[in-house]
Chains A and B, each alone.
Chain A
Amino acid sequence: MLHLILFLVFGAICVAGAINLLTQRHPIDSALSLVVVMASLAVEYLLLGAEFVAAVQVIVYAGAIMVLFVLVIMLLNAGVEERTKGSRIAVLLGVPGVVIAGVLVAWILLHRVNAAPVPIGAQPGDPRDIARILFHDFLLPFEITSVLIMIAILGAVVLASRPEAVVKRASAEASKAAPELVGAGKEH
């Protein structure tokens, strides 16, 4: 009973955070609403008996990724965003589309999934169970995924680092283009 109440409360907080994310006009407010969404999702996982996933959700999403978002927003000093009225087609098609999709998903979940309700804790959620599944039953897909992520990281490093020749040429051009600026610093 307590579980159900908490689940509903945090579900409501999650949805409210998501709506707030869309309506806020300042990027940092939106980012913080996303943190609320992530954190309440973690609580939902916890209430479903998936402790490990809940902890990882907080550490990875709320702790690492969203901190990077906030850092970048602070670094760029992003201001309040400008709003246009939005296209009429988006309103005319989007709102009914969302309603229809929501009703469809709810209907399918309620009527077409013929699974018996599962008690909390019946599914693997313990760190031990997760480890056994990841490193034993699904070792190959897990390793392939980690290699893929590794390649993505290497790609990001290659794209972000400028080769030395380019850096040297750029600085040489800068000093050639504005010699008076380079000299001006010395006088003060």
Chain B
Amino acid sequence: MTIPAFIVISIIKSALVIFVLLTAVAYSVWLERKVSAHIQNRWGPTRVGPFGLLQPLADGFKFMFKEDLTQPHVYKPLYIAAPMIAVVLAITSISVVPFGNWLYIPEIHLGTWLGHTLTISEIETPLQITDINIGLLAILGITSMGVYGVALAGWSSNSKYSLLGGLRASAQMISYEVSLGISLIPILIKSGSFSLRDIVESQAHLHWNLWSTPYLYFPFGIIAFFTYLISAYAETNRTPFDLPEAESELVAGYHTEYSAMKFAMFFMAEYANMVTVACLATLLFFGGWMGPVFGPPILQMVLPLLWFGLKVFFFMFLYVWVRWTLPRFRYDQLMAFGWKFLLPLAVANVIFTALVVALRS
């Protein structure tokens, strides 16, 4: 592939992925409102479009036309930068997520124009913005930087509720990042690569990491999955770990002083992070785009994407389900759970998996 072709294809892929991601973010807000309403015996949004399906669009317009307040007591540079940091980092982490197999488009002749034959040369590209050999580490690095958005928003707002929310968020995210990272090591031991594409390809033929136990039937996959999922919920500040924005104590937490589009950016960042977590859970434990593939070539190309989308949708649904089922933790419970239960469990899982693998080889 020549350099201009590479640049053009990368731009097209990035634009497509960002478009799909933002649409998914908008509709997961709709999903959350709808599911929560049905859990509580209500209807949820019904007015805008069929089943309220155009509600995210209406919300978007509303956010844009609201007055953008900037309180006089805020520390302005960081106050403005914080939502940008949050949303940029949340969107960036999707760039290494693979959605499916390779895309192959044969040479296309567009016809002749002014005596030149116009053709698009054949394209062969992975369904992913970029496949790097440190994909998983890149995602972990970007999410670990994501704390800055929340922490700086809390601090720069110069209000006590925001500050408490920001402090809680940074303490919580530092604590749960440790168990999040360690819970993924058994998967790395099994697949032997940081590249997300390699990890998915090591799970072919239903050898999903969740239950694939070639070693002594030790359920490392299930333990790793649950430690990952719980830590990831805490990382994304979702119930039962939503102490940074606990309404009953902190008004709205770190985004108390934000309005209009700046507030919407925090909202987008939260849902984009949820999508990333759902993608990562799918890729690492549920075989990514693997699933039954059959039919004509065009169907064979689309089906993996469908399986991937369905699995991600399941995790998004799980997020909403958990949020409207469980109450919030107390702060000391949160810290004790993270450090005294989840972290030792993840470390023990790593040690046992490594031991079993070493004894078998």
Contacts and interface: CB of A to CB of B under 8 A. Distances in A.
Given A74-B170, A75-B167, A127-B194, A55 B138 contact: yes
Nearest to A126: B133
A56 B147 CA distance: 17
Interface string A103-130: 0000000000000000000000011000
A58 B145 contact: yes
A67 B134 contact: no
Contact of B151 (A59, A70, A127): A70
A126 B195 CA distance: 11
B174 to A, nearest CB: 6
A59 B137 contact: yes
B244 interface: no
A52 B155 contact: no
Contacts of B167: 71, 74-75
A71 B144 contact: no
A55 B137 contact: yes
B78 interface: yes
A56 B144 CA distance: 11
A55 B155 contact: no
A44 interface: no
Contact of B134 (A51, A63, A64, A71): A51
A68 interface: yes
A62 interface: yes
B166 A74 contact: yes
B137 A52 contact: yes
Contact of B144 (A52, A64, A127): A64
B141 interface: yes
B141 A55 contact: yes
Nearest to A39: B145
Contacts, number: 70
A124 to B, nearest CB: 13
A39 B89 CA distance: 13
Interface in B134-177: 134, 137-138, 140-142, 144-145, 147-148, 151-152, 154-155, 163, 166-167, 170-171, 173-174, 177
A78 to B, nearest CB: 11
A64 B137 CA distance: 14
Q: Is the interface of A mostly helix, strand, loop or mixed?
A: helix
Interface in A23-54: 28, 32, 35, 39, 51-52, 54
A127 B134 contact: yes
B78 A74 contact: no
Contacts of A127: 133-134, 137, 194
B11 to A, nearest CB: 16
A28 B155 contact: yes
A70 B148 contact: yes
A63 B170 CA distance: 11
B140 A59 contact: yes
A64 B151 contact: no
A68 B151 CA distance: 11
B361 to A, nearest CB: 14
B155 A74 contact: yes
Given A67-B144, A74-B151, A51 B133 contact: yes
Contact of B148 (A35, A64, A68): A35
B174 A67 contact: yes
Contacts of B78: 28, 32
Contacts of A55: 134, 137-138, 140-141
B132 interface: yes
B147 A67 contact: yes
B55 to A, nearest CB: 36
Contacts of B174: 64, 67-68, 71
Contacts of B155: 28, 70, 74
Contacts of A74: 151, 154-155, 163, 166-167, 170
B166 A63 contact: no
Interface in B100-152: 132-134, 137-138, 140-142, 144-145, 147-148, 151-152
B132 to A, nearest CB: 7
Contacts of B194: 127
Contacts of A63: 141, 144-145, 147, 177
Given A54-B134, A70-B148, A70-B170, 4 more contacts: A62-B144, A64-B144, A71-B174, A127-B137
- 5 smallest beta-carbon distances between A and B, as pairs: A63-B144, A55-B137, A58-B141, A59-B141, A71-B170
